């Protein structure tokens, strides 16, 4: 498919957006999406549960994430649209699935935004204990809200620098750790050794079962890698930038997750890490680097703000996509003078503002509940990407749709593997008494959306009727037999 053909096939909800995200920004958004609070903080609790075997869990989950992103990449190059997950679900599974996926992805980011605002306030409290946490959360909420209203270029630039801080810090940590291992300097030099990975009760010190139970937390760490798909409608050259961003994912996972954790667990034995403490902070404290804890605290703060910033961006686009299909109030379709979905962003920010209020009352365990809800919503989104990809591949083979210029390796095989893996992780969540609450919340969410769909269908049956985009997009010359 040529660039001209892609332009003529764009759907109405995409029209009006400013293609203000350049290659540099899309690449860094993709990199930043793979580095979040789940790594900087969540890894501490998971190390305590799984020991060095957590490295293997991150590698396994990372391979599945790559399968998901290659499936998404094939769909994006077939038809690059803003709000892509909902659009592909709508096209290949039917209007209800597009409606459900769009609203669920919106929920994921709103809930994540609440959690990240609370986390950011806690990080600032490290330096300024006299400032109430709700004040800090409110300031961050207002500042990021303003950034997202100005223009997509400002959003992209801020996200670029957020990601740059995270990437630079992680590379610095890895280099310092390798230096300790190689040259033995610092107070950790005498005990730092690769053998730390197996000397203390083995590579699986708590058993394989305990290691597998960490997969739900590991998957939360990978949430937001799919954000590249949301940027498709505002990328300057999606046919060039998106494949490049997706294909660099394996080395990002290998370096920032597997590499960073391997180095840290070699420098400091896993028994010295504890839940609730960033393993990076603990490692820097062990090495004895001045102001190390403060540096890591700043990096984690950046990760939280980056996630919240991305949430505001994606929720506004998803609400506009829903409105364009008659599945949300029409007012969400309007763009501001800066070509941003201002009303959708505003409504999303108001819901995220609940997180400011919750700073008064949220107990420590509630943060875990919030992240588990985000994970469950993320798993649904990933499943819809994979199922849509399988159905798209069937349509291509049958000659009903044109082949993408960025086919996933192995066709649908990797998508089937990833679907099985995500269903397995869902079973693990159901088995965990603490995490299980998110499935109850998602069941309630499904009932609420089902009621909304019934009302929508009774008021406007045309909206809920299935369209057949393949009839408009099939190109005989590109059929694959």
Region of 35 please: left (phi>0), alpha (psi -120 to 50) or beta. Answer: beta
Instruction: Please tell me the distance from the alpha carbon of residue 13 to that of residue 259, in angstroms, as a whole number.
Output: 41
- 442 domain residue, yes or no: yes
Residue 166 contacts residue 175 (beta carbons within 8 Å): no
- 1 domain residue, yes or no: no
pLDDT of residue 23: 64
pLDDT of residue 473: 46
- 5 domain residue, yes or no: no
405-454: pLDDT as tens digits: 999 998 899 999 999 999 999 999 999 887 888 899 899 999 999 999 99
In this structure, the number of other CB atoms found within 10 A of the CB of residue 248 comes to: 14
pLDDT of residue 97: 94
* Structure tokens given for 108: 């994921």
Exposure string for 1-38, b = 16+ CB within 10 A, e = fewer? beeeebeebebebbeebeebbbeebbbbbbbbbbbbbb
Burial class for 208, CB neighbours closer than 10 Å (0-12, 13-18, 19+): exposed
Quick one: three-class SS letters along 231-258? Answer: HHHHECCHHHHHHHHHHCHHHHHHHHHH
Q: pLDDT truncated to tens, each residue of the chain (481 aa)?
A: 333 343 334 443 445 555 556 666 666 666 665 676 677 767 888 898 899 999 999 999 999 999 999 999 999 889 877 667 888 999 999 999 999 999 999 998 888 888 788 778 878 887 888 888 788 888 999 998 988 888 777 777 887 888 888 888 888 888 988 998 888 877 777 788 899 999 889 999 999 999 999 998 888 888 878 877 666 556 667 777 788 878 888 888 888 889 999 999 998 889 888 776 778 877 877 787 767 778 878 888 888 888 888 888 888 888 888 888 889 898 998 888 777 788 999 999 999 888 777 666 665 566 667 778 888 999 999 999 999 999 999 999 999 999 999 999 988 999 999 999 999 999 999 998 878 888 998 999 999 999 999 999 898 888 777 665 544 444 433 333 3
The alpha carbon of 46 is separated from its chain's Cα centroid by a whole number of angstroms, namely 19
Residue 147 contacts residue 139 (beta carbons within 8 Å): no
* Cα dihedral sign, 260-264-270-271: negative
In this structure, the number of other CB atoms found within 10 A of the CB of residue 445 comes to: 19
In terms of C-beta distances under 8 Å and separation of at least 24 residues, what long-range contacts does 420-427 make, across chains too?
A: 421/64, 422/64, 422/379, 422/382, 422/383, 422/386, 424/215, 425/215, 425/216, 425/219, 425/379, 426/376, 426/379
DSSP class per residue in 113-180? HHHHHHHHHHHHHHH-TTS-HHHHHHHHHHHHHHHHHH-HHHHHHHHHHHHHHHHHHHHHHHHHHHHH
DSSP class per residue in 339-387? SS-HHHHHHHHHHHTHHHHHTTT--HHHHHHHHHHHHHHHHHHHHHHHH
Angle at 212 between CA 209 and CA 218, to 5 degrees: 155
248-288: pLDDT as tens digits: 888 888 888 899 999 999 988 898 887 767 788 778 777 87
- 4 domain residue, yes or no: no
Residue 232 phi, psi dihedral angles, 5° rounding: -55, -40
Number of domains making up the chain: 1
For residue 45, give Cα distances in angstroms to 256, 274, 347.
Answer: 18, 6, 34
Give the domain CATH number at 143. Answer: 1.20.1740.10
Report the C-alpha dihedral over residues 262, 31, 301, 369, rounded to 10 degrees. Answer: -80
Closest to 57 measured CA to CA, from 175, 209, 196: 209
pLDDT of residue 10: 43
Range of the domain at 244: 19-465
Q: What is the pTM of this model?
A: 0.85
Instruction: Please tell me the distance from the alpha carbon of residue 368 to that of residue 43, in angstroms, as a whole number.
Output: 13
- Residues contacting residue 165 through CB under 8 Å, at least 6 positions apart: 298, 299, 302
For residue 167, give Cα distances in angstroms to 28, 34, 39, 170, 174.
Answer: 9, 10, 12, 5, 11
pLDDT of residue 284: 79
């Amino acid at each position: 498919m040529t660039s001209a053909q892609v332009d003529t096939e764009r759907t109405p909800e995409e029209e009006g957006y400013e293609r203000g995200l350049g290659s540099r920004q899309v690449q860094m958004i993709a990199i930043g999406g793979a580095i979040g609070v789940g790594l900087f903080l969540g890894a501490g609790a998971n190390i305590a549960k799984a020991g060095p075997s957590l490295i293997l869990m991150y590698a396994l989950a990372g391979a599945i994430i790559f399968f998901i992103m290659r499936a998404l990449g094939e769909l994006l190059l077939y038809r690059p649209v803003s709000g892509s997950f909902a659009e592909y679900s709508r096209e290949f599974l039917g209007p209800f699935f597009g409606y459900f996926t769009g609203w669920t992805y919106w929920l994921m980011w709103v809930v994540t935004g609440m959690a990240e605002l609370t986390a950011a306030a806690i990080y600032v409290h490290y330096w300024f204990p006299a400032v109430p946490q709700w004040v800090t959360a409110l300031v961050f909420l207002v500042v990021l809200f303003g950034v997202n209203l100005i223009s997509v270029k400002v959003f992209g630039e801020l996200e670029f620098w957020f990601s740059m801080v995270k990437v630079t810090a992680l590379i610095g940590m890895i280099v310092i750790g390798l230096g300790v291992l190689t040259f033995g300097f610092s107070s950790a030099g005498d005990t730092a050794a690769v053998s730390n990975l197996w000397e203390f009760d083995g590579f699986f010190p708590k058993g394989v079962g305990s290691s597998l139970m960490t997969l739900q937390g590991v998957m939360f760490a990978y949430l937001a890698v799919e954000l590249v798909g949301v940027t498709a409608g505002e990328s300057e050259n999606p046919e060039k930038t998106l494949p490049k961003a997706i294909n660099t994912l394996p080395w990002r996972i290998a370096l920032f997750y597997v590499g960073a954790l391997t180095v840290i667990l070699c420098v400091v034995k896993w028994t010295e890490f504890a839940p609730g403490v960033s393993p990076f902070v603990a490692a820097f404290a062990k090495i004895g680097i001045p102001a190390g804890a403060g540096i890591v605290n700043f990096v984690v703060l950046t990760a939280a703000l980056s996630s919240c910033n991305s949430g505001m961006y994606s929720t506004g686009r998803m609400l506009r996509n829903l409105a364009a299909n008659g599945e949300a109030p029409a007012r969400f379709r309007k763009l501001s003078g800066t070509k941003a979905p201002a009303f959708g962003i505003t409504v999303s920010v108001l819901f995220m503002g609940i997180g400011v209020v919750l700073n008064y009352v949220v107990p420590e365990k509630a943060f875990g509940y919030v992240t588990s809800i985000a994970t469950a919503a993320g798993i649904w989104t990933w499943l819809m990407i994979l199922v849509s990809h399988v159905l798209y591949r069937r349509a291509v083979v049958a000659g009903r749709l044109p082949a993408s210029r960025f086919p996933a390796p192995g066709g649908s095989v990797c998508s089937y593997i990833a679907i099985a893996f995500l269903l397995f992780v869902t079973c693990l969540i159901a088995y965990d008494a603490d995490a299980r609450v998110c499935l109850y919340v998602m069941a309630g969410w499904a009932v609420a959306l089902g009621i909304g769909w019934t009302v929508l269908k009774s008021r406007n049956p045309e909206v809920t009727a299935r369209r057949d985009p393949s009839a408009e997009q099939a190109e005989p010359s590109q059929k694959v037999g």
